[in-house]
Structures are given as structure tokens and as C-alpha cells.
Amino acid sequence: MLLIGGVLATGGLVAGGAEAAPFLVTTSGVISSGSDPADLLGVGTDLTGDSYTLTVGYDDIGPSYFTNGSGTFAVDIGDALRGYATVTVDGSTLVTGLQKGTSATLVEDLYDLFASNNGTDAAGDFTGVSQNVQCAATCVPYADLQTSFSYVLQAADIGLDTYDFTNAAGTATISFTGTPASISFLVPEPASLALIVPGLLGLGMAVRRRT
């Protein structure tokens, strides 16, 4: 969170291009604490110690996007970015939409990536997610929030993910914090994206019908 404070105090940024390809932030690791009281995922009510993968899709970069133009820093804070969140815990997956988000936070430099978003889907289910990796050495090859990369965390690196889901009735929740072991930032080609999004949404509907 120190990174965010530094961003808000940083000046002298140059506006980047308003148009950007949709992108995905994916982290995988182990849940440090968490619960699924209604067992929506079907893996038990206590999620502590389970493996997870968290993928958050953002439809675009927003109008508040800025970069210093040198590939060392980029930020987008406060824009209502639509997208979706996919969480897989021990092989069981839930996909939720982020169609009615309020504001997202995206910060990237050569040592850090912080991404968060929240919102409701068409059914009124709420999902809030954040993914944060801070590296002891350079881990982002080009920081502009538009360039793909992947990285496996090392012993001196720090990572923290959070995931919260509440259904529209407020009767079923999933909540956990996790320690990521890897991160990827993917800017898909348009043709690939056309296949990825419907497939993930279809998988989410299948999981909902099963639970």
C-alpha cells in the first residue's frame, strides 16, 4: 500500500494513449486465511492452505491513465473499469462480472504491480479483488500497463492478494487473502480475447448451475 501513497504524491507525469487493449492480471499461490461458509466452491468451508489462481480482466485503460513515457511508471486510479474476476480454488472455479464497478486502481513500475477493482454483476452479486506484488529487484520489464510479462516471486519479494464475494441476497460469501507465488500481466490479441471471454463466462455459468 505504500506504493499507492507514493503514486498520489507523484507529479510530472505525461498522459498516455487513451486507447489500450483489454488485459488480464493473474496471480497464483496459497490462501493464507479464508472461508467459504456456504461451500459455494465445493472444496470445504475453510480455505486456509488451499491453492488458488485469481484472474481479473479489465476491459480497457481509463481516461485517468498516465505514464512517464519511459516504461518505468504508469498509473490509472479512480476510473470505473468494467471486467470480470475468475477465482479457482483447488480446481473449482467461479466467474463473476464487474459490470457496475465504482473505481479501479492500477499502478505499475519496474518493481511493483498493484491492481484492484470491485463491482456487481447483472445478478447483483458483489466481487472485490486486489493483487499486489512488490519485488526486491526489477521484475517488470516495461511498466506502461500495456505490455505483457510474467514473473515468479523470489524469497525477498512480497505479495498479497484479496478476494471477496457476496451474492445479491447477502446470504453466501467467499473471502480470502492469499500469498501469490507468480504473477502474469497479459494483453491478449483481439482474436484470442474473443475466444477467452465467452469461454470463461460459460464456465462461470456452469459453476453457478452446479452450486
| Beta-strand runs (E) in the chain | 14-15, 23-35, 51-58, 66-67, 73-79, 83-89, 92-97, 104-109, 112-120, 126-134, 149-152, 158-166, 173-186
Cα separation, 164 vs 140, in Å, equals: 27
Report the pLDDT value the prediction gives residue 22, as an integer from 0 to 100.
80
Using one digit for the tens of pLDDT, what is the confidence trace for 122-170?
999 999 999 999 999 999 999 999 999 999 999 999 999 999 999 999 9
Structure confidence at residue 17 as a pLDDT band (50, 70, 90): very low
The better pLDDT of the pair 204, 95 is held by 95
The DSSP result for 85-101, as a single string, is EEEEETTEEEEEE-TT-
What pLDDT does residue 3 have?
A: 39
Distance CA(182)–CA(193), nearest Å, equals 22
Of residues 121 and 192, more confidence is placed in 121
Q: Which amino acid is at 175?
A: S
Q: Check residue 77 and give its pLDDT.
A: 95
The predicted structure's pLDDT at residue 99: 87
pLDDT band at 188 (very low <50, low <70, confident <90, very high): confident
Q: What is the pLDDT of residues 18-48, one digit of tens each?
A: 344 489 999 999 999 999 999 999 999 999 9
* pLDDT at residue 34, rounded to an integer: 98
Cα(178)–Cα(197) distance, rounded to whole angstroms?
25
> pLDDT tens digits for 65-124?
999 999 999 999 999 999 999 999 999 999 999 987 778 999 999 999 999 999 999 999
